[in-house]
Amino acid sequence: MKEEELQDELASIRNMMERSSKFISLSGLSGILAGVYALIGAAAAWFVVKENPTTVTHDLSLVEVFGNLITLFTSLLLIALTVLFASILTGVVLSIRKAKQKGESIWNKTSRLLLFNVAVPLLTGGAIILILFSKGDLTYTVPTMLIFYGLALFNASNFTYTDVKYLGIIDILLGLATAFFPEYSLWAWAIGFGVLHIVYGSIMYLKYDR
């Protein structure tokens, strides 16, 4: 067997092994759109925060401020859930389309492992946010989101493209930095879930989808 044929055979074997152990139907376009959704959500959150006073003044009593906090959290939670739902739906639809184009199944052992390893950190982070809210503390909501989302991506990189790991690490570091400077939480949200997703999605699209 010629050296060139041997290299082609080895490349084919590596490709088969990757397909059996990695979920490679993730769409770069879904990452871009998720980033766009997050930026829209950040803009909506900015308007909500601007229109909901959360400090005691001569016009607002403590009870009214607490009521505003509840309204604020509910509105922000609704925005976050809407962005999450739209991102997941887009990701699933585009991943199914990509899998069909490659003649692969989207639901297999690897995708189930991927889902489990993503779900554990995300659900844990969600539980911590609810606990913080029950204590009346919304300060670390965004840092918690970024850190646990980053951990979810880091876990996911074991079952899909390695590039996902770097996005996870950046989100974790951004979340830790935001914990020190929570007054920049909205900017961190826009960067971590918006800008970084658009950049990551674009890189993934150019590397794997074209």
Asked if residue 4 is part of any domain, the answer here is no
Asked if residue 22 is part of any domain, the answer here is no
For 165, the domain range is 31-209
Asked if residue 196 is part of any domain, the answer here is yes
Asked if residue 155 is part of any domain, the answer here is yes
Asked if residue 18 is part of any domain, the answer here is no
Read off the tokens for 143: 């840092």
Q: Is 181 exposed, middle or buried (0-12, 13-18, 19+ CB in 10 A)?
A: exposed
Q: Give yes or no for a contact between 190 and 161, defined as CB atoms under 8 angstroms apart.
A: no
Asked if residue 167 is part of any domain, the answer here is yes
Please give the pLDDT value at position 115.
Answer: 86
Flag residues of the chain having pLDDT under 50: 6, 10, 12-13, 16-21, 55-66
Asked if residue 5 is part of any domain, the answer here is no
Read off the tokens for 162: 């390695």
Please identify which residue in the block is written with the tokens 């979810």. 152
| Structural domains counted in the chain | 1
Distance CA 38, CA 178 (A): 17
Amino acid letter at 11? A
Could you tell me the pTM of the whole model?
A: 0.78
Please give the pLDDT value at position 61.
Answer: 44
Please give the pLDDT value at position 65.
Answer: 45
Asked if residue 21 is part of any domain, the answer here is no
**Where do the H-state alpha helices sit in 102-207?**
109-134, 141-156, 163-180, 185-189, 196-204
